[in-house]
């Protein structure tokens, strides 16, 4: 699996170079809106093409599931790619975005890379081998309760506005029971930071599998827990709850009553 991870790292760095070069000429970028408040740029597309080309150069028979170009191929191995997680940040010049690449084998996540090209921080993981940040082993925090915890989140938007009422109740309770909430705007980085112990928990509705595949494996490999806010596999629902073990459980007990008390609007 190390060879797969090396390929993912190489691909992520190439995509990061594309994003950083283009950032110097943001005013020249062609930006279009896929859906309300969901942007795609030439950079997303160029970065994705560079990632896929790097992977296909080494593994031409592997399947790919990418945010911009969709699914291609089939077989035992599938690469899950978000070429620029945090595009809204990117097009506004807000320096929080990342490249996320995961490898799934027969339905099981095996490797993941989250690369922050602004800070040049590289988070990597292999199933059974833990998580590394720039070659240094990291783990989730040892915090045992919500008091003093720092929690990451993302706001419901697009079609997921149906979750807004329960989410606002959740947000109020988390604000009252923790040290604070952070909303950086990149779920891939949110999960990588959780795996590295920079935050203690994370929750969000309506994410896509390419947003969270690499980060999900990182949290698990770093000793954390990942479950769904709603029934079904997290990669399918996109409704994710994650944290260090004790914080995860306390956060679950705090959040789930809002879903039971207030069914989402249609």
User: Is residue 9 located within the same domain as residue 86?
Assistant: yes
Say whether pTM exceeds 0.85: yes
User: Is residue 86 located within the same domain as residue 176?
Assistant: no
User: For 195-252, what is each residue's pLDDT tens digit?
Assistant: 999 999 999 999 999 999 999 999 999 999 999 999 999 999 999 999 999 999 999 9
Q: What is the CATH number of the domain that holds 188?
A: 3.40.190.80
User: Is residue 132 located within the same domain as residue 174?
Assistant: no
User: Is residue 84 located within the same domain as residue 157?
Assistant: no
Round to whole Å and give the CA distance between 132 and 192.
Answer: 10
The pLDDT-based confidence of 31 (bands split at 50, 70, 90) is low
Q: Within a domain: residue 197?
A: yes
Q: Within a domain: residue 266?
A: no
Give the per-residue pLDDT at 32: 56
Nearest to 58 by CA among 26, 99, 11, 98: 11
| Number of folded domains that form the chain | 2
Q: Within a domain: residue 186?
A: yes
All residues at 6 or more sequence positions from 93 whose CB lies less than 8 Å from its CB, including other chains = 23, 26
- Domain that includes residue 220, residue range: 150-261
User: For 114-149, what is each residue's pLDDT tens digit?
Assistant: 999 999 999 999 999 999 999 999 999 999 999 999
User: Is residue 31 located within the same domain as residue 129?
Assistant: yes
Structure tokens at 92: 């506004």
Q: Which alpha helices (DSSP H) does the chain contain, by range?
A: 2-23, 42-58, 87-91, 164-177, 187-195, 209-221, 234-237, 245-261
Q: What is the CATH number of the domain that holds 16?
A: 3.30.540.10
Give the per-residue pLDDT at 24: 77
pLDDT of 35 higher than 50: no
User: For 171-194, what is each residue's pLDDT tens digit?
Assistant: 999 999 999 999 999 999 999 999
User: Is residue 127 located within the same domain as residue 231?
Assistant: no
Give the per-residue pLDDT at 33: 56
């Amino acid at each position: 699996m190390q060879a797969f991870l090396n390929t993912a790292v190489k691909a992520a760095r190439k995509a990061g170079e594309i994003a950083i070069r283009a950032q110097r000429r943001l005013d020249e970028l062609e930006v279009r809106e896929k859906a309300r408040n969901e942007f795609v740029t030439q950079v997303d597309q160029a970065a994705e093409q560079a990632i896929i080309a790097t992977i296909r150069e080494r593994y031409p028979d592997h399947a790919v599931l990418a945010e911009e170009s969709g699914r291609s191929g089939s077989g035992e191995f599938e690469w899950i790619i978000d070429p620029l997680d945090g595009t809204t940040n990117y097009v506004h010049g807000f320096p929080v975005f990342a490249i996320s690449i995961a490898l799934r084998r027969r339905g099981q996540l095996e490797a993941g890379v989250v690369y922050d090209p602004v800070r040049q921080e590289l988070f990597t993981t292999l199933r059974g081998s833990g998580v590394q940040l720039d070659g240094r082993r990291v783990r989730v925090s040892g915090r045992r309760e919500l008091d003093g915890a720092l929690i990451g989140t993302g706001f419901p938007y697009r079609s997921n506005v149906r979750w807004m009422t329960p989410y606002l109740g959740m947000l109020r309770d988390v604000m009252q029971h923790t040290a604070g909430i952070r909303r950086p705007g990149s779920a891939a980085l949110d999960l990588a930071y959780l795996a590295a112990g920079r935050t203690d928990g994370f929750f969000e509705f309506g994410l896509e599998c390419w947003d969270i595949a690499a980060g999900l494996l990182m949290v698990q490999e770093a000793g954390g827990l990942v479950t769904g806010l709603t029934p079904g596999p997290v990669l399918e629902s996109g409704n994710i709850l994650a944290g260090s073990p004790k914080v995860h459980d306390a956060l679950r007990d705090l959040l789930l009553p809002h879903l039971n008390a207030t069914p989402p609007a249609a």
